[in-house]
Amino acid sequence: MEMRLRRLGQTDYLAAWEAMRAFTRARASDTPDELWLTEHPPVFTLGVAGRPEHILRDVGIPVLRTDRGGQVTYHGPGQLILYLLLDLRRRHLKVAEMVQGMEAAIIRMLGDAGLPTQRRAGAPGVYLGAEGNGAKIAALGLKVSRGCTYHGLSLNVDMDLAPFAAIHPCGYPGLAVTSTRAQGLAFDVAEAGERLARQLIREFSGKGAPHA
């Protein structure tokens, strides 16, 4: 089942969000699924049910409320953003299965690079350690419209982590965050994107390679 990979470079968050919504509105039953690789300039985003009190102070970074799930997170240069525009019905996937698959792909990708990570019960995302009891390294948030997903995941690669101190990351007070660079992995955002895209293709289609 075809899945196209689009390498967008750095994009404005609002422009990328509107492009995802437009793509999803225009989809037909035979529209190929797509993965979008990008980075964003600094921005805090709140999910649909995101609580403003999880933003602790104004540090001069814009705050946007979006239509994804989840609470507040930070996006900035050096963080991989990977948007998944998938037709759940065509792939016979439930949302919970997709979330688990996204987590599994991240865990495999980091494990192949020598970094053990795991899920954490009741807290979507990926965390350091074989038991998932360490700092958070990847966050997830999806929107489903007409049986199709958009938004996706963020993986901290080689970025300034300081803005996370101005929020309760993902709604959890005191949650520690880290990055692949801080954990000694040398790849940049582009390489991380290619590695993770391959794992997501494997997870959700089981065969083939992304089309450029």
Query: What pLDDT digit, counting tens, does each position of 24-59 carry?
Result: 999 999 999 999 999 999 999 999 989 999 999 999
Residue extents of the structural domains in the chain = 3-205
Q: For position 212, what pLDDT does the model report?
A: 46
| 1 pLDDT higher than 80 | no
Partners of residue 73 on adjacent β-strands: 45
Mean pLDDT of 180-205: 96
Superfamily of domain 3-205: Bira Bifunctional Protein; Domain 2 (3.30.930.10)
Q: What values do phi and psi take at 118, rounded to 5?
A: -160, 165
Q: For position 130, what pLDDT does the model report?
A: 87
Q: For position 205, what pLDDT does the model report?
A: 84
- Number of Cβ within 10 Å of residue 69's Cβ equals 18
Beta strands in the chain (DSSP E): 3-10, 33-39, 43-46, 63-65, 72-75, 79-85, 117-118, 126-128, 136-145, 148-156
Answer for the pair 140, 151: CB distance below 8 angstroms, yes or no: no
User: Based on C-alpha coordinates, what's the Rg of the chain?
Assistant: 16
Answer for the pair 114, 207: CB distance below 8 angstroms, yes or no: no
Q: Is 170 a catalytic residue?
A: yes
pLDDT band of residue 210 (cuts 50, 70, 90) is: very low
Q: For position 209, what pLDDT does the model report?
A: 41
**DSSP per residue over 66-118, as a string?**
-SSSSSEEEE-TTEEEEEEE-BTTTTT--HHHHHHHHHHHHHHHHHHTT--EE
Count the alpha carbons within 13 Å of 94 in the hemisphere toward its beta carbon.
Answer: 2
- What residues contact residue 180 under an 8 Å CB cut-off, 6+ apart? 110, 113, 115, 137, 155, 156, 157, 158, 187, 192
Q: Which amino acid is at 63?
A: V
Q: What is the rounded CA–CA span in Å between residue 199 and residue 118? A: 15
What pLDDT digit, counting tens, does each position of 122-164 carry? 899 999 998 888 999 999 999 999 999 999 999 999 999 999 9
| 199 pLDDT higher than 90 | yes
The one catalytic residue in 170, 189, 192, 197 is 170
Q: For position 211, what pLDDT does the model report?
A: 45
Please report how the helices 95-112 and 189-205 are oriented relative to each other, as an axis angle in degrees rounded to 10: 130
Average confidence score pLDDT of the chain: 94
